[in-house]
Structure 1
Amino acid sequence: MRFSRFFLNRLQDQACSGDTVVVIDVLRSFTTAAVVLANGARAVYPVEGVATTVARLAQMPDAVSVGAVGGGDPVPGFDFGNSPWQLMQADLTGKNVVMTTAAGVRGLQRFRQARRLYAASLVCARATAKAIRASGAAEVCFVITGEWVDRDGDEDIACADYIEALLRGEAVNPDSFAQRVRDSDFGRRFTAGTWPHLRRGDLELAAHADLFNFAMPVWREGEWLVMR
C-alpha cells in the first residue's frame, strides 16, 4: 500500500494520487460528524458554504443544521455549532443533519470524485484503517485540512500518522497521537480560555482515540455528498 499527503490550504500545486482519499479534520468537523452519527442521526450531508447549506435545509425541512465559519464561530440561526461536546448531549435519532464547516467539508467537496472517500478524525481512526484495509486499497492519500498560516495542523497530521501506521501493521500507542492533538497550535486554543466557541470539552473528545468503532465513508447521491 502506498501513501501520500495533500495539504488543503497550501498555495502550491500538489498531487493527490490514490484510489482512496481520506479527508481529516480532527478539530472539529469530523469529530462532530462522528458524534452526530453515534447519537443516532440517519445521515450527515456535508455542504460547502452557508448559502448552499440554507438552500439544502429548505429542501429538508425536518433536518438539523450544524455549522461554523472560519475560526470556529457557529453560524447564526443554525441549531448547533461545530461542537462535538455540545452534540454529545443531543438526541439525533432518525434525524438528517446538514453540516457546513470551513475546512473539513471543503476538503470533501474538493475530492468528491475520488473512487473511495472517507471523512476521518482520531475518534474513528482505527475503524477507518480497518475499512481501508478491507477495501483492498492500493494507494491512500491523506488530506490535511487543519494547517493554516497561523496553525501547524498537527492534530490532523497526527491522525494521518496514526492511520498510516495501523495500515502498515505497526504496533503503535494511540496516546502519543492524542497528545499531539492537545499540543497542536489549534488544540492549545481550546484550553486558552480566550476563544468562547472553542470548548475544552471539544478538545477532550477530539483527542479520544478510537472512541467509535465505525468509519465514515462518503457517498455521492446526485449532486450531494452523504455520510451514514
Structure 2
Amino acid sequence: MDTRFLGIPDLVETPAVAVVVDVMRAFTVAAWAFAQGAEKIVLAESLDEALALKARHPDWVAIKDGPPAPGFDTVNSPGLLRSIDLGGRTVVHKTTAGTVGALAVKEASLVLCAGFVVAEATARLLRTRRSDSVTFVVTGEDGRADEDLACAQYIARRAADDGTDAAEFLRRAASSRAAAELAEGVRQGVHPDDVALCLELDRFPFAMVATAEASLMVLRPHPLSSQPDEDPVR
C-alpha cells in the first residue's frame, strides 16, 4: 500500500482513499458521540451552516470548537460529551481542523475519519479494502501536528503489519503541542480528561466512514463486526 501524509493545504488532487486524522479532538469527539448513541454526524462547512442546520432541525445536537456559544449545545470535548445521552440523535459538528480536512476530500471514493480511539478498526478496514494508495490527511497545524502525524503513521503501519506496537506513537502524541495546550488550559472548551481520552488506544470497535448524503457530508460508524466484503464506498 502506497501511503502519503499531507496537510490540508497540500491536497491538490482528490485521493482515491483518504484517512482524515484529528486526534485532539474532533474525531475523538465523533467516536464518543457514536458511543453515546448518535445515529450520524453532519460535518458542517462553517459555524453559520451549523447554526442554520440546527435552526432547521432543533432536535439535532450542535458542537463547535472553543468556548460555549449561543445556538450550540456543547463544545468539542470528549470529556464533556461522554456525559451526554445522544441516543438516536443527529450531531452537527464544526471544528477548526478535523471537519475541514474531511470536507476537503469529500470527493474521494472512501473517506475515513480517525484518531487513536478507532485506530485498529480503521487499519482493519484499510486491510480489508486492500487499497493500492491511501492519503492520510494530517489536519492539525497545516500537517505539522505531531499527534495527528503519529496517529496517521501508526494506522498506516497497522494496516500493513498488525504487529506494530503503539507505544512510541502514543508517546509522541502525548508530548505534542496540542496535548500541552489542552493540559495547560490554553485552549477553551476543555475538560481535564480530554488528553487522556484522546490517547485511549482502540477504545471503540468501529471505524468512521464519511459519505455524501444529499448536499451534506455525513459521518457514520462502521463496526468491526461488519462482513469483510462489505464495502462502505459510495
TM (norm. structure 1) is 0.90
Tell me the distance in 1 between the aligned counterparts of 2:135 and 2:21. Answer: 10
Q: Indicate if the aligned counterparts of 1:123 and 1:211 stay in contact, CA closer than 8 A.
A: yes
Tell me the distance in 1 between the aligned counterparts of 2:218 and 2:2. Answer: 27
* Residue from 44, 52, 57 that aligns with 1:47: 44
Q: Deviations over 1:119-156 (max 9, x none)?
A: 111100110011112123111000011125xx940000
Out of 55-64 and 102-111, give the one that drifted further.
Answer: 55-64
* Aligned counterparts, 1:65-214, within 5 A: 65-68=62-65, 72-148=66-142, 152-169=144-161, 171-214=163-206
TM-superposed CA distance for 1:195, in Å, is 4.0
Out of 92-101 and 174-183, give the one that drifted further.
Answer: 174-183
Structure 1 residues 227 and 17 mapped into 2: Cα distance closer, same or farther (>3 Å)?
A: closer
Tell me the distance in 2 between the aligned counterparts of 1:25 and 1:39. Answer: 19
Counterpart of 1:3 in structure 2 is: 3
**Structure 2 residues not aligned, in runs of 5+:** 221-234
Q: Indicate if the aligned counterparts of 2:21 and 2:138 stay in contact, CA closer than 8 A.
A: yes
Tell me the distance in 2 between the aligned counterparts of 1:45 and 1:133. Answer: 26
RMSD: 1.8
The code of the aligned residue for 2:6 comes to F
Number of residue equivalences: 220
TM-superposed CA distance for 1:14, in Å, is 5.0
Q: Indicate if the aligned counterparts of 1:67 and 1:101 stay in contact, CA closer than 8 A.
A: yes
Identical amino acids, percent of aligned pairs? 34
Tell me the distance in 2 between the aligned counterparts of 1:173 and 1:189. Answer: 26
Counterpart of 2:25 in structure 1 is: 28
Tell me the distance in 1 between the aligned counterparts of 2:213 and 2:129. Answer: 20
Tell me the distance in 2 between the aligned counterparts of 1:225 and 1:128. Answer: 19
Q: Indicate if the aligned counterparts of 1:17 and 1:140 stay in contact, CA closer than 8 A.
A: no
